[in-house]
Chain A
């Protein structure tokens, strides 16, 4: 549905996208992850044709006609119009052929704004504007829906509402590209994930594959006493990556080892264990791992 190959984009001397590749099939909910300023919005603006790109190839819907819905990170909406009037304007923009009043009511009910639809947008809360933006984006039942950080500026309740709406939009086989740096939200919605770092896509896989791999990536966190550098070196000889910060010992096995094996090795070194816990890799840890070399994550 959306295939991006070797996409490059620079703003003067600043290289934002350095040959990214994205492949989102029909029906995918593609979670696009990256830190602030990593180029997510730039990529989305290029897909929506709002800005040009320098190099690369973008194929959308095999070059057949398609309908697009886009929700910008901050959906600015004419404050003097009511929600209903704004949607009527959007209907004219997309040359909607059906009954506009009926469609307005449908989408307003879907985003739970029908009661507020006669009020001016200038009096809406941030969450209501976000939901009106979603209503506008989905107005003409687009084949592709692009949502840029739809939950980032919302309170937990607002986030939950938007997540519910996005989940309800999955039906019908439309492709959704959804960017966020709130990884919990991505995990709840996405079927496929792409992680953008240093202008490149460093990971692209289905959420199932990523979480399956994460189950194999386990580390252990311990609070310990009676430990010194010699004991740490001895642990390292068993193929463990070991880091110590005050009493907090972090152990990451490089080969497959059970928690019992780890415990035995630690106890053999006469280290007193106060607390022991198994840490499974979730999306956040995977993200931190693959983006740890990003320039803006270093302290320099």
Chain B
């Protein structure tokens, strides 16, 4: 347990003492604040660009739901990319740079190492999605018309957080097992984008851990049972990713 705590503490120091933490907070705030602002003043911006009046009329008037959907979409797109880039030196980069040789020869167990990574970074992904979604709500509610019950907003924010938690867990697994976090981040980001776009295009995005934020954007949770099943599938998937990583590292596949 002390090895897990020590590794988490070390990673937290690594995050907070470098540009990474500022980058994560910065992009979160940017998404939560600038997105609703941009949407709110989109009409004025387009007028400045001399877009024809007839085209401007075709845009729907933004409301609270639209403002929040925009925030969720950015958090799971640009926000996700920034998180993955910021943490990649901790999930595979340490092995690539041979930073683990001394700790491991001194007794750091691979189990402790993997567990600490699976605690900190997926949790960071969840908190990023959840907290900045709520900040986005706080900004949007003062900017747009319409209302959404707070409990639904909290539920939606949690779904955004859970989606990010799943993708970060996948990145942790690929990074640790391949020691090539850069390739892992590229594969995850591109394949997630392609998969969600394809499935959305054919109208089948149900039970997809990569698309939980789409449920979040519905706000009314009309099909609550479907949301609950999707959440369960995502949590089981995260546990599976963790177990696969543990089993593979215990077969000495970890390069350090």
Contacts and interface: CB of A to CB of B under 8 A. Distances in A.
B255 to A, nearest CB: 10
B103 interface: yes
B168 to A, nearest CB: 20
B10 A77 contact: no
B14 interface: yes
B55 to A, nearest CB: 51
Interface in A225-242: none
Contacts of B98: 72, 74, 76
Residue from A49, A74, A75, A76 having most chain B Cβ neighbours under 10 A: A76
A137 B101 contact: no
A80 B3 contact: no
Contact of A72 (B5, B7, B102): B102
Interface string A78-95: 101100010011101111
A143 interface: no
B99 interface: yes
Nearest to B98: A76
A90 B101 contact: no
Contacts of B10: 78, 81, 85, 89
Contact of B107 (A50, A80, A85, A95): A95
B256 A136 contact: no
The bracket for how many chain A residues form the interface is 20 to 34
A70 interface: yes
Interface residues of B, number: 24
Contact of A89 (B17, B94, B103, B252): B103
Contact of A70 (B2, B18, B101): B101
Interface in B1-15: 2-3, 5-7, 10, 13-14
Contacts of A85: 10, 13
B18 A78 contact: no
B212 to A, nearest CB: 33
A92 B105 CA distance: 13
A94 B107 contact: yes
Interface in A88-107: 88-90, 92-95
Contacts of B5: 92
17 contacts: A48-B105, A50-B101, A52-B252, A68-B105, A70-B105, A74-B98, A75-B101, A80-B17, A85-B13, A89-B7, A90-B103, A90-B106, A93-B106, A93-B107, A95-B107, A133-B102, A136-B106
